[in-house]
Structure 1
Amino acid sequence: MSAGFSKLPRLPFRWDGAFKLSVMDRYIATELIAPFLFGVGAFSSLGVSVGALFELIRRVTESGLPLSIAFKVLLLQFPQFIVYSFPTSTLMANLMTYSRLSSDSELTALKSCGVSVYRMVLPALVLCTLVTGLTFVFNESIVPASNFRATTTLSEALKSDEPLFQERNILYQEFRNVEDEDGDREEVLSRLFYAKEFNGQQMLGLTILDFSQNGLDQIVSARSAEWNSDQKTWDFSDGTIYVVSADGSFRNIVTFEQQQLQLPRAPLDLASRKRDYDEMNIAESLDYLETLRQSGSESKIQKLRVRIQQKLALPFVCISFGLVGAALGTRLNRTGRATGFAISLLMVFGYYLLTILSGAFAQVGYIPPVLGGWLPNIFGLIIAIWLLIKSSQ
C-alpha cells in the first residue's frame, strides 16, 4: 500500500483559490491510464483483425487488390475500431485497477480513512466522462469521413461495377401543411415525383402529379429531366402537361420540347448513392432522414431513426461500462490481467447482443427507436448502481 495513503485528508478536494486533486485522485487516475491504453491497443487490434484484415487479405488474393491500397484501406478503417475499443477499454481499466486495489487492501485502508465507495469511484467516473467526449469527437468528426474514404478507395481500386445511384423506380413524395375549418393543421400530399430510371445524370420516364394549387391539379409526363444546378430548377424534355380542374375535366394540355419546372432537388438526392450508416455523422443522418420521410419508405425511416439513437448512445456506453467495471472491481479480491480481459470480453458480448436485440425490436416497431438505442446503456447503468450499493454496504 502506498505510504501516501496515511496522509489522506478526509475531504478529497480543496479550494484555496484553485481546484486541486487529492492524493487519492491522482493515484487512482495514474493506475487507470496504463490498463486503459493497453485495452485500446489490444481491442483495436483485435477488432481490425476480425473485422477488416481477413476481408482485405481475401481481396488481395482473390481480386488482385494491391497491397499498398489494402494497407491504406486498413489505416482508414482503424479509427472506427479505436472508437469501438474505448468503452471496452474503460471497462477493463476500471475492473483491473479497482480489483487490484481491493486485493492489496488499499480500498480497505481508504474506507478506514472515511472515504466511501462512491467517492472512490469518482476518478473512474471522471475518466469515463472524458473518454465519452473523446468517443463523441471521433465518432462525429473522424470515423464517418474515414469510413467513406475507405469505401471509395476500395471501390476505385477494384473498379466496382456497383452504380453510385438508385437505377430504377425513384419515388418521392412532397407534403405540405394545410389548415382545416376547425383550425387544425394536417399534412397532405403536395407532389408525387416518379421516374422509371436514373442513369446518373438524367431521370428517365417521368410522371409528376402536382396537387400544390387548390382546385387545380397538374400531371406532367416527360421523356427525361435533368437538374439545373445553376438555376436550381429541373429541365424537362419531350413532355406533356395536363391541367385538370376540380371536377376532373381537362382544362388544358400543353406539349413541350424543353420546359423548366420549379420542383425540389430532393428526388435527385434520393436517387444518388447515400453514404452508409457508418459513413454519416449525426447531422448528415438527420438530413438523410428528412429526405427519406418525403419518400415514404417506412422501413428505411425506422431503421435510420434507430441508428441515429444508437449513434447518440454509443459514447455514453463508456460511463456505463466504466461504472460497472469499477463497482465490480471493488468486489473482487484478486483479478489478474487475463481474468479482467476475459470478464471484459464476456460483458461486451452481452452488451452488443442486447444492442442487436433492442435495435431489431425497435426497427420492427415493438419498442420506440429511443428505447431501442438507449436500452443497453440504461441496463448497464442499473447494474452499475446496484453493484455500487452492494459494495458500499
Structure 2
Amino acid sequence: MDRYLSQEMVSPFLFGVGSFSSIALAIGSLFELIRLITDAGLNIFTAVQIFALQLPGFMVYSFPMSVLLATLLTYSRMSADGEITALRSCGISVARLIAPALILSLMVSGLTFVFNEAIVPTANLQAKNTLKAALKQENPQFKSRDILYQQYGQIPLPDGSTEEGLVRSFYARRFDGKKMIDLTVLDFSQGKIQQVLSSESAIWQPDQNVWEFKNGTTYIINTDGSYHSILKFDQQKLRLPRAPLDFAQEQRNPEEMNIAELKRYIDLVRQSGNLKEERKLDVRLQQKYALPFICVVFALVGSPLGIRPQRTSAAKGFGVSVLIIFGYYLLLFVCQALGQVEILSPVLAGWMPNIICLGAGLFLLNRVS
C-alpha cells in the first residue's frame, strides 16, 4: 500500500513542480527578460543563462505547492474510484493512509531546505551580477556612498551604574571597496560627546586590527561643549571595531543570503542601530526557517481534502490547490507586514501562516477520521 500510494503521488508532484515553476517564471522573470531583449538589447544567450539561474528560486516555492497538488489529486482519485473505501473497510485508519504523504512531504521539506541554503542564494546573486554586467550597469559588491554605522554599548552614569546607549557614530561619505573617504567619527563613550575625528581617508589594517586614518583632525571637547584642543595629524591608528567595513561590504538581499549569512548581517544592522531594518530582516529569517515545513502542513491539508467521499476531476483538484496556495501566500504577506510594524513578533510573523494551516489540516483530518 505504501509503495502504491507513493508511486501515485510522484507523477502529480512532478507535474506540479513543472507547472507552478513555469507559471511563476513567466510572471516573475520571463516577461521582463523578453522586454530587456527587445528594449535594452540584452543578448539572448545571456537571457537564457539568467533564466536558468533564476529557476532554483522559483522551484523552491513550487515544492510546497506540488506537495499539496500531489496529495489532493492522488487521494481524490482514489476516493472517486472507491479505493479509499476498500482500504478503510480493511481496517486501515486515515492516519495510516496519509503516512506515505507525510513521509513524502518530509523528504521534500529537506530538499527545500537544501535548495534554500546551498543553491538559491548563490544562483540569485549570480543572476543579478550577470544581468548588470550584460547591461553595463555599475554593480559594486559594497555600499559606495553614505556609510553610517552607530555602535552601541554600555555608558557610565553619574551614580556609577551603566546603561545601554550610543557609544560611537561612524560616517563615511564614500567607499571604494577598500578605503573609506571623507570620514567623521563621533565619540560618546562617556555619555556625552568627548571628541570628533575628521579625516580624509581611512583603511582597515587586518593584521593589526586597527583603522589607519590619514590627513585628519581630532577635536577634544569639554563637558560644557567648548573645544579643549585641536590636534592635526598626517597618520593615526585607532583601535575601532571593524564593523563599519563589514556593514559597507555586505550589500545583498535576504534572497541572496543563506541563514548563516543573514544572521551575521542582522547582527551588523543591530549594532548600527537601524531597528526598522533589523525587524524586517528578523521576519525574513524566521520565514526562511518556516518555509520548508509548509510542505508537511500542505500534506496534512491536501490528504484529508482528497480522502473525503467525492468525485473530483483533476482540473477541479488543481483549482482547489491554487485557491489554497493563494490563501496561504496572502496570509504570509499579511503576517510579514504585521511583523514589520511590530504588531506580531518576528517568530510569530514567520510561523503564523504555518500554524493556521496546520490547525486547518488537523481539523480536516479529525473530520475525515
Tell me the distance in 1 between the aligned counterparts of 2:282 and 2:210: 30
Other-structure match for 2:124: 147
Q: How many residues align?
A: 369
Distance 1:26 1:182, change over 3 A: farther
Other-structure match for 2:113: 136
Q: Report percent identity of matched pairs.
A: 52
Secondary structure of 1:365 counterpart? coil
Match of 2:53 among 70, 76, 82: 76
CA contact (8 A) 1:165 1:272 kept: yes
CA offset digits 1:13-48 (Å, max 9, x no partner): xxxxxxxxxxx2111111111111111111112211
CA contact (8 A) 2:142 2:177 kept: yes
Distance 1:310 1:255, change over 3 A: same
Cα RMSD after superposing both structures: 2.3
CA offset digits 1:38-61 (Å, max 9, x no partner): 111111122111111111111111
CA contact (8 A) 2:250 2:265 kept: no
Distance 1:219 1:279, change over 3 A: same
Q: CA deviation at 1:181?
A: 10
Tell me the distance in 2 between the aligned counterparts of 1:273 and 1:58: 30
Q: CA deviation at 1:302?
A: 1.1
Match of 2:96 among 97, 104, 119: 119
Distance 1:215 1:135, change over 3 A: closer
CA contact (8 A) 1:173 1:191 kept: yes
Which stretch shows the higher mean deviation, 250-259 or 28-37? 250-259
User: Residue type of the partner of 1:275?
Assistant: R
Other-structure match for 2:292: 315
CA contact (8 A) 1:216 1:243 kept: no
CA offset digits 1:108-145 (Å, max 9, x no partner): 11211111111111111111111111100100110000
Tell me the distance in 1 between the aligned counterparts of 2:277 and 2:192: 34
Q: Residues 181-192 of structure 1 correspond to what in structure 2 (within 5 A)?
A: 186-192=163-169
What TM-score, normalized by structure 1, do the two folds share?
A: 0.87
CA contact (8 A) 1:94 1:124 kept: yes
Q: Residues 318-357 of structure 1 correspond to what in structure 2 (within 5 A)?
A: 318-357=295-334
Other-structure match for 1:280: 257
Q: Residues 1-393 of structure 1 correspond to what in structure 2 (within 5 A)?
A: 24-161=1-138, 164-177=141-154, 186-212=163-189, 217-244=194-221, 252-272=229-249, 274-392=251-369
Which stretch shows the higher mean deviation, 291-300 or 199-208? 199-208
Tell me the distance in 1 between the aligned counterparts of 2:324 and 2:224: 66
Q: CA deviation at 1:295?
A: 1.5
Q: CA deviation at 1:327?
A: 1.0
Secondary structure of 1:64 counterpart? coil
What TM-score, normalized by structure 2, do the two folds share?
A: 0.93
Tell me the distance in 2 between the aligned counterparts of 1:118 and 1:182: 65
Q: Which runs of 5+ in 2 are unaligned?
A: none
Which stretch shows the higher mean deviation, 210-219 or 46-55? 210-219
